[in-house]
Each structure stands twice: as structure tokens, then as C-alpha cells.
């Protein structure tokens, strides 16, 4: 599997160009890996690494991707995901994108009730999200590294598990996996 590393924001055109080299679509998924902010990607849908959806969303402290979605997109997607009820580990639920400029958000249950991810929950989350991408015919989607935040999984290991899962999926969608990198400048203490 070939992986290309980019920086910051990936445009729809860049992802389509990569996926359509020589106008031949690969038979299996070839996501690109980029660094930046998931919410800055030019895609139709983003994936939110959520939980099993058993604890009410309003009781949870906003953190990671979910916290960023709540701050920038509002609470509407979380009200909608709450209506879905409990999500099986590795399952996925589609909601609106709130105030964000995406068509939808796909929430995946990437962590268990102890707030830990596993090989199976990470890979099943990828498969479940991609099933929605295919069902809804999204041309593009962006994923964070599922399980590497609150889930406690090593980022490199979680990324490799995701890439392995993508390798088993047939899809024409352009997909990016986004390694979060803050845009904030590093501040050094003054003496």
C-alpha cells in the first residue's frame, strides 16, 4: 500500500488527482495521510471518533475531535447522535454537520465503556464509516486517527490498523486520514 504524506489542508481536487492517476482507480482504498486539522479539510463528510453513546453527550467534557466539533459546529450533531441510542463498538451513526461546512458527520464508536480502543474497534470503525460513505455516495471523507486520542492507542499503531482496514475496502471515494497538528505557535517562556 502506498501512503503519501502531505501537510495541512487537502483539497478535493488534490485527493481526486491522487486517486485518479492515469485515470485508473485502484481496486482497493488508498487513503492519503495529511497533517493538520480535521475540520479544515475540503471533504463532504468527516468522521468523529465517538464513544458507545451510552453516557449522555452533555455530561461529557469536550475534548479532541468531538470538542472541536462542539466549539465550531455547535451541539446539533450531538443531539442527533443521542437520538440513535447505544452504538455497537465499531459501529457508526450519520448526523448533520451542524454549523460546519460538511454535508454530514459520521460518528464512530471507536472506544469501549472504559474509554479504550482496540484493534477491532479501530478497524470496525473504519469499515462502518466507509459503509456509510458508500451508501450515501460521498465523493470524499476525512478521518482522524481513530483510537489515538482518548482511546489511548499509540498513534502510529492506530494509523497502521486503519490503513490495513482501508486496504480491504473497495471504494471510489477520496479519503484522507488527518494527523492532528495544532496551528498554534509554540510559546517559549521568557526569562
Per-residue pLDDT tens digits for 101-157: 999 999 999 887 766 889 999 999 999 999 999 999 999 999 999 998 777 788 999
Instruction: Establish if 45 belongs to a structural domain.
Output: yes
- Say if residue 53 is exposed, middle or buried (CB neighbours under 10 Å; 0-12, 13-18, 19+): buried
Rg (the chain; Cα; Å): 16
Instruction: Establish if 24 belongs to a structural domain.
Output: yes
Instruction: Establish if 117 belongs to a structural domain.
Output: yes
Q: What are the φ and ψ backbone dihedral angles of 153, each rounded to 5 degrees? A: -80, 145
DSSP structure class, residue 5? B
| Location of C-alpha cell 465503556 | 113
SS (H, E, C) 130-159: HHHHHHHCCCEEEEECCCCCCCCCCHHHHH
Domain harbouring 63, CATH code: 3.40.220.10
Determine contact, residues 54/112, Cβ cutoff 8 Å: no
Instruction: Establish if 186 belongs to a structural domain.
Output: no
**Whole-prediction pTM value?**
0.79
Query: For the chain, percent helix, then strand, then coil, each to nearest 5?
Result: 35, 20, 50
Instruction: Establish if 5 belongs to a structural domain.
Output: no
Determine contact, residues 78/71, Cβ cutoff 8 Å: no
Domain that holds residue 139: 12-180
Range of lowest pLDDT (24-33, 156-165, 181-190): 181-190
Instruction: Establish if 1 belongs to a structural domain.
Output: no
Range with top average pLDDT, 26-30, 150-154, 158-162: 158-162
Instruction: Establish if 126 belongs to a structural domain.
Output: yes
Contacts of residue 135, defined as CB under 8 A and 6 or more positions apart, other chains included, come to: none
pLDDT in tens, 51-106: 876 665 555 556 688 889 999 999 999 999 999 999 999 999 999 999 999 999 99
pLDDT category at 17 given cuts 50, 70, 90 is low
The 3-state DSSP class for residue 179 equals strand
Counting the structural domains of the chain, the total is 1
Instruction: Establish if 40 belongs to a structural domain.
Output: yes
What grid cell was written down for 86?
447505544
What was the pLDDT predicted at 25?
47
Amino acid at each position: 500500500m502506498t501512503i503519501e504524506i502531505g501537510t495541512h489542508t487537502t483539497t478535493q481536487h488534490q485527493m481526486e488527482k491522487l486517486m485518479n492517476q492515469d485515470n485508473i482507480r485502484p481496486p482497493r482504498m488508498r487513503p492519503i495521510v495529511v497533517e493538520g486539522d480535521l475540520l479544515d479539510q475540503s471533504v463532504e463528510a468527516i468522521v468523529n471518533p465517538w464513544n458507545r453513546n451510552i453516557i449522555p453527550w452533555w455530561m461529557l467534557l469536550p475534548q479532541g475531535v468531538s470538542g472541536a466539533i462542539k466549539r465550531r459546529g455547535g451541539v446539533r450533531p450531538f443531539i442527533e447522535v443521542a437520538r440513535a441510542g447505544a452504538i455497537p463498538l465499531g459501529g457508526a451513526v450519520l448526523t448533520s454537520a451542524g454549523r460546519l461546512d460538511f454535508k454530514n458527520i459520521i460518528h464512530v464508536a471507536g472506544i469501549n465503556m472504559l474509554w479504550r480502543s482496540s484493534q477491532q474497534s479501530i478497524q470496525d470503525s473504519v469499515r462502518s464509516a466507509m459503509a456509510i460513505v458508500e451508501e450515501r455516495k460521498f465523493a470524499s471523507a476525512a478521518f482522524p486517527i481513530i483510537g489515538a486520542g482518548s482511546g489511548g492507542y499509540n498513534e502510529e499503531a492506530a494509523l497502521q490498523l486503519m490503513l490495513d482496514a482501508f486496504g480491504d475496502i473497495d471504494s471510489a471515494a477520496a479519503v484522507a486520514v488527518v494527523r492532528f497538528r495544532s496551528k498554534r505557535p509554540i510559546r517559549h517562556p521568557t526569562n
